[in-house]
Amino acid sequence: MIISFEGIDGSGKSTQIKRLLTRLDLLGKETLYVREPGGTAMSEQVRDILLDPSLDIHPFAEMLLFSAARAQLVKEKISPFHARGGIVVCDRFFDSTIAYQGGGRGVAEPSWLESFQLEVTGGVIPDRTYFVDITTETAESRLNIRFGEEKAADRMEQAGGAFFERVRNAYLTLAERHSERVCIIDGSGTESEVENAIWEDLSLYL
């Protein structure tokens, strides 16, 4: 099974992934956690390029870099592990490209991007996708706290409120178009409330 988590920056999806991995571990499930961009030696180097705030990367080039990292990750890690029957948990997958580079950057129509991403992944599609949804105002508040306590914003996180509003709307459109796969989770609750909502849904598929 392949499970992906999506959301705008600050949605709390990474926290929920950690909680889910703990639950699956307690059940004795064999899991593989991967993040995008990253997860392989090549993909991690691409990640450094994409998140470098000193670089001015053309939006279409940005999309291709994310896609290149994803293609390597699928070939090297995701497909072999999935073929052995393990559960792959992805911190972002191709829906991010459709939402961020499609909705946010406007590089191409969603239908073209979806078709292209299926080529990138060799037809690999998540079995269940959790879109942890929060407002852009909530995201901005959370990111301000994070940057004040931990680190400076990376290149993607610096994109601004209008950009993230477009990304969020693209995610909502995706969820509507692929309702059989994408589950919208209200990310405004407590961490435990969000975790329980995800588990209530996922337990139906395990």
The pLDDT value recorded for residue 147 is 57
Q: Which of left, alpha, beta for 152 (phi over 0: left; psi -120 to 50: alpha)? A: beta
Model pLDDT for residues 65-103, shown as the tens digit of each residue: 999 999 999 999 999 999 999 999 999 999 999 999 999
- Predicted confidence band of residue 48 (pLDDT cuts 50, 70, 90): very high
Structure tokens at 165: 């509003």
Q: Which amino acid is at 101?
A: Q
- Least confident span in 16-20, 120-124, 145-149: 145-149
| pTM across the whole model | 0.93
Model confidence at 149: pLDDT above 70: no
Model confidence at 58: pLDDT above 80: yes
Q: Which amino acid is at 137?
A: E
Taking residues 136-165, report their average pLDDT. Answer: 74
The percent of residues in the chain predicted with pLDDT above 90, rounded, is 87
The pLDDT value recorded for residue 153 is 66
- CA dist 32 and 55 (Å) reads 31
CATH code of the domain containing 80: 3.40.50.300
Q: Which residue range(s) make up the domain with 63?
A: 2-202
Count how many domains the chain has.
Answer: 1
Q: 152-188: buried (b, 16+ CB within 10 Å) or exposed (e) per residue?
A: eeebbbebeeebbbbbbebbbebbeeeeeebbbbebe
Taking residues 135-139, report their average pLDDT. Answer: 91
The pLDDT value recorded for residue 176 is 97
The percent of residues in the chain predicted with pLDDT above 70, rounded, is 93
Taking residues 7-26, report their average pLDDT. Answer: 96
